[in-house]
Structure 1
Amino acid sequence: MDYVYKGYKFRLYPTKDQATMMNKTIGSCRYVFNQALRQQNHQNIYWSITQEMVQNGQLTENQWKSEYFNAVKAQKEMTFLKKEIKWLSEV
């Protein structure tokens, strides 16, 4: 069974206002993604520290259980973040 892949190329010519809004949107998305990534990395660091303590004999077992990504929790945090940081509400 052969598949035929099609692609389309197009170019946008936004006005200055549209370009500004697109840049703000992309910047906000990048900021929110990096915040979520920072939180996940923070949880992973706790697990690594606990695992190292197990290997050194300071703890008997690693009971650190971090949560996986939860969309509902992330949306609630986003609402709080938008109240705290005003420029996120612009887009």
Structure 2
Amino acid sequence: MGYDFIDIHGQPAVNTIQGRVIGLTVQELFRIPDVVAIASENTKAAATLGALRSGVINTLATTVTNAHTILALDDATRKG
């Protein structure tokens, strides 16, 4: 993502380094027609899920193991 921080539910989250990082905002990413994310670390499943839930990512490139972890985490943390 850019410099906006999001939680596991894809909602904005406040962070102490926010405002000191250079990058695109979520609003700027939404204006890009095809946003591709690459996630290779299985330890980043919650962050990847939050980014997916934000709706800003159109395409995710990851490993099968990571995809299974993200899907299981999605099932376990789904609101509703």
TM-score (norm 1): 0.21
The structure showing larger relative contact order (alpha-carbon pairs under 8 Å, at least 6 residues apart) is 2
Higher strand share: 2
TM-score (norm 2): 0.23
Q: Which has the larger radius of gyration?
A: 1
